[in-house]
Structure 1
Amino acid sequence: MSRAPIPIDLSLYLVLDPDLCGGSEGMVATVQLAAANGVTVVQLRAPNWKKRQWLETAIELKAVLAPFNVPLIINDHVDIALAVDADGVHVGQQDLPVDEVRRLLGPNKIVGLSTNGLAQFQEAEAMYRSGVIDYVGVGPVYPTGTKKDASPIIAADEVAAMMQSRVLPAVAIGGIQAGKAASLMTQGLNGVAVVSAICGKADIAAATQALLAEIQQAR
């Protein structure tokens, strides 16, 4: 495939959780505040939802994000991404293969892939060079309770090995709270993906601002 990867600002990547955020309405309210205060990417992830709820919420999220020019990524469901003209899709190792995701989405959408370990990261590097994917998630880097089927935690030294001589944009994910982002950024990651560090917080704006300040200071 002859295709240049799409640039994406991974600095502060919010993955939505319907339980933590308070359902669809809470997700939309959370995203509006988070985008206004520095979140750079939003992913809709709701593994227990029916497709109609995915569709309706994705439409609302896209409308909320449009003024901030923040991309909306759909977790796994290519059909939802196509239906709402989302900015891209993120898949895991057991989801639809990324080459099929790329074929369905075409060249002008973002495709992200989860990786757990150096071997998967190196395979993803080849996919990036060939234009199939645009970035990877690396994790989990800490214990996480927001993803029931999470892979084993990646040790810090393995994360460091992934970051050596890479060209592939990478965002860390898994159990990242305020105070933990800086050390990840200093390892060379492009950003951090968070769930409970923003979703469900009493002050969404303040939580977002604090994380962004930590990321920027680490740079």
Structure 2
Amino acid sequence: MSSKEPAWVKAEDTFQLMRFFDGIDIDENIVATYFIEVPTADPVMWAESFALEQTTGTWARSHAETKEIREVSGGKLLSLFKIPGLANAYVMQIAFPTRNIPANMGALLAAVAGNVTLFRSESQEISVKLWDLTFPKTWLKEFKGPKFGVQGIRNYLNIPERPILNNMIKPCVGHDLSVHIELFKEAAYGGMDTIKDDELLTDVPYNAFFDRLS
């Protein structure tokens, strides 16, 4: 193993289970495409270790991580293509079983863009970028779409045709509840249909979320 490879890349730990898996069920897997730069003599082993790291495995092998568990829940290396003209650069495709990923964005991002995609080391010259995702239709059907939709919002506000005027409270953060209330009143008296907090203002001690709601 090259001294430049991450600690979680272990040849003896891959079982050769993930090597260019053929005939996966596209209805049971999310396929992620990555651009990777890895200075290693065995990029296939690195890619297989990547697939395990994001599904069943970690840098230390667990005795409960059996071959059977890896077969049904482990990530599968589908393809690995060398990019001409770029040293140590590849396009990699990994299949992630949907049985591991419930239909919510947090779980999806943790799986396909988790800790190893954030791993960027100048000393190890490793880089991982998520390029594309392909979803099975059965998994996408779990997302029911907007609660109201455009027409539902218009009906709720009783604004059938004209543009809906929205205001974001500014400054985004830093002001206390009393200032927030005054800014809200100014927007309301000014004729805004909807008023929202800036996405940067969450639940902070000086302007708590439930205090703003009340």
TM-score by length of 1: 0.22
Q: If each structure's helix is expressed as a fraction of its own residues, which one has the higher value? A: 1
